[in-house]
C-alpha cells in the first residue's frame, strides 16, 4: 500500500492500521531491544554474583592466611625457647656439669646415670633415659628438685622414689631429721647440632 492509499482509508481502518502498526513496533522493540537487555542484565547479575562469591572466598582465605601468618610469627618467636629444651650431643658434658652444679648448690651428693638413647619416630631428636641418685636431707632434696625444674633443659621426670638413709651426720654437721635418698627416673631429649 502506498501512502496515498492509507490517506484514503476511513477513520476506523486508519485506527486499526495504526493499532496494528503500533503493536508490531512494540513487538519489535520488545523482541530486539528489551529481551536482549534482560538477558544481558541477567548475565551481568550472574557475573556479579560469581565475582561476589569469589571475592568472599578470597577475603576469607586472606583472613585465614593473615591469622596463620600471625600465629607463625608468634611460633617463630618461641622456637628459640624450644631449641633450648634439647640437649646437643656435643654439649653432653655441659649438661652433666649443670646437673652436678645443681647438686652442689643444694649440698646434695648425687650419682648420674645416662642410659643408651631410645630410637625416636620424629627423626629430629632422641630420647635418652636418665637416672639420678641424689642424697641429702629432705629440704635439700626439695631445693634440688626445684633446681632441676628451673633448668633450661627439658627433663621429663617419670618417677621419684624417696628412701631413708642410715648415714649418720659427719662430725661438725648439724643434726638433721635424717638423710634421705632419692631415685629419679627421667627422660631427656637430645639432638645433633646439625639438625638446627
| Domain residue spans of the chain | 3-80, 87-195
Sorted by sequence, the CB contacts under 8 Å of residue 112 that are 6+ apart come out as 96, 99, 100, 130, 131, 132, 133
Q: pLDDT tens per residue, the chain (196 residues)?
A: 466 666 677 888 888 988 999 999 999 999 998 899 999 999 999 999 999 999 999 999 989 999 998 888 888 877 776 666 778 888 888 888 999 999 999 999 999 998 888 876 666 778 889 999 999 888 898 999 999 888 888 888 899 888 886 555 555 555 555 788 889 999 888 887 654 4
What's the burial of 140, exposed, middle or buried (CB within 10 Å: 0-12/13-18/19+)? buried
Sorted by sequence, the CB contacts under 8 Å of residue 84 that are 6+ apart come out as 152, 153
Res 2: pLDDT: 65
In the three-class reduction of DSSP (H, G, I as helix; E, B as strand; rest coil), residue 177 is classed as coil
Res 45: pLDDT: 95
Res 196: pLDDT: 46
Three cell numbers, residue 83:
631449641
- Backbone region of residue 123 per phi and psi (left: phi > 0; alpha: psi in -120 to 50; beta: other values): left
pTM above 0.85, yes or no: no
Homologous superfamily (CATH) of 87-195 is: Ribosomal protein S6/Translation elongation factor EF1B (3.30.70.60)
CA–CA gap between residue 38 and residue 62 (Å, rounded): 35
Amino acid at each position: 500500500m502506498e501512502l496515498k492509499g492509507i490517506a484514503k482509508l476511513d477513520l476506523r481502518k486508519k485506527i486499526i492500521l495504526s493499532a496494528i502498526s503500533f503493536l508490531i513496533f512494540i513487538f519489535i522493540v520488545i523482541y530486539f531491544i528489551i529481551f536482549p537487555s534482560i538477558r544481558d542484565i541477567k548475565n551481568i547479575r550472574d557475573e556479579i554474583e560469581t565475582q561476589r562469591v569469589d571475592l568472599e572466598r578470597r577475603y576469607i582465605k586472606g583472613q585465614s592466611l593473615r591469622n596463620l601468618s600471625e600465629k607463625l610469627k608468634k611460633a617463630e618467636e618461641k622456637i628459640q625457647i624450644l631449641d633450648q629444651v634439647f640437649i646437643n650431643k656435643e654439649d653432653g658434658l655441659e649438661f652433666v656439669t649443670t646437673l652436678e652444679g645443681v647438686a652442689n648448690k643444694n649440698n646434695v651428693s648425687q650419682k648420674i646415670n645416662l642410659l643408651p638413647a631410645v630410637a625416636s619416630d620424629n627423626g629430629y631428636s632422641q630420647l635418652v633415659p636418665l637416672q639420678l641418685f641424689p642424697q641429702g636431707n629432705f629440704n635439700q632434696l626439695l631445693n634440688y628438685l626445684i633446681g632441676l625444674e628451673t633448668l633450661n633443659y627439658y627433663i621429663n621426670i617419670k618417677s621419684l622414689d624417696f628412701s631413708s638413709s642410715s648415714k649418720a651426720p659427719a662430725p661438725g654437721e648439724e643434726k638433721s631429721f635424717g638423710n634421705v635418698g632419692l631415685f629419679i627416673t627421667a627422660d631427656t631429649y637430645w639432638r645433633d647440632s646439625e639438625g638446627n
